[in-house]
Amino acid sequence: AQKVTQAQTEISVVEKEDVTLDCVYETRDTTYYLFWYKQPPSGELVFLIRRNSFDEQNEISGRYSWNFQKSTSSFNFTITASQVVDSAVYFCALRDSGGSNYKLTFGKGTLLTVNP
Amino acid sequence: DTEVTQTPKHLVMGMTNKKSLKCEQHMGHRAMYWYKQKAKKPPELMFVYSYEKLSINESVPSRFSPECPNSSLLNLHLHALQPEDSALYLCASSRAGRTDTQYFGPGTRLTVL
């Protein structure tokens, strides 16, 4: 069965600090898909990135970057020069190719607070 | 455009009321989802519609009744709810494939008195 662990329940940083959110996953499948979503206080889950298991290339988008490491089953997310608007709950999610593969397995989320 | 809209934003209802939540997308997606999210928890899948047919029901109580009138619309009919059903209800959509990215709406905050 698949599992996603976000060990950091809450992180608090001061604006302009860099912050890394950890995500460790478990799956028996060789083909799977990893996602990060952002949920600000307004409630909407905003899609940030999708990574396929066969694509280990890291990604950078502005201040955001993602480090996918199959060897350690991790898909970590780094925000560079954090801003107050980055304050949100961030969810890492996994979908593998087995079972009901419409279903996303979410981690418990990490609440990031960026203080001015 | 990756917009999913939901109405209403907030809903307060009594345990004997009947109400409906509405979700709409115009991205040409053929899969639509209802999730329930309690405070400080991740979303939990309730229902999946694929090509307007109910594909997955995650053992949701019958007081929740989904409906997919067409490929752009998804409703969730509520009847005889309990206070513990108070939560954020999120709608999502994706292209037809099972591994496609799901895009979420802003949610409806439901309070059952």
Contact residues for A12 (Cβ-Cβ < 8 A; gap 6+): A112, A113, A115
* Range A15-25 average pLDDT: 98
Give yes or no for B50 touching A (CB within 8 A).
yes
The answer to whether B106 contacts A33, with C-beta atoms less than 8 Å apart, is no
Terminal-residue alpha carbon distance, chain B:
37
Closest CB to A43: pick one of B2, B99, B107.
B107
CB contact under 8 A, A97 and B55: no
Q: DSSP class of residue B58?
A: -
pLDDT at A39: 97
Are A54 and A31 a contacting pair, CB within 8 Å?
Answer: yes
Would you call B94 helix, strand, or coil by DSSP?
A: strand
Q: Looking at the complex, does the CB of residue A101 fall below 8 Å from at least one CB of chain B?
A: yes
Over range A15-36, report the average pLDDT. 95
Output the pLDDT for position A61.
87
Which residues does chain B have within 8 Å of residue A44's beta carbon, measured at their own beta carbons?
90, 104-107
pLDDT for B100 beyond 90: no
Least confident of A10-19, A74-83, B88-97: B88-97
pLDDT of A64 higher than 70? yes
φ, ψ (nearest 5 deg) of residue A75: -145, 80
Q: Which residue of B has its CA nearest to A97?
A: B99
Mean residue pLDDT of chain B comes to 93
> Taking CA atoms, what residue in B is nearest to A92?
B42
φ, ψ for residue B54, nearest 5 deg: -65, 120
Q: Amino acid identity of A67?
A: N
What is the reported pLDDT for A7?
96
3-class DSSP state for residue B83? helix
Which member of B43, B48, B55 has the closest CB to residue A45?
Answer: B43
- pLDDT for A1 equals 76
Interatomic CA distance for residues A16 and A24, integer angstroms? 26
Residues 6 or more apart whose CB falls under 8 angstroms from that of A62 comprise: none
The one-character DSSP state at A47 is E
* Tens of pLDDT, residues B32-57: 999 999 999 999 999 999 999 999 89
Residue A105 identity (one-letter amino acid): T
Tell me which chain A residues have a C-beta less than 8 angstroms from the C-beta of B2.
Answer: 47
Phi, psi of B106 (to 5 degrees): -75, -15
The answer to whether the Cβ–Cβ distance between A108 and B55 falls below 8 Å is no
Round to whole Å and give the CA distance between A32 and A41. 29
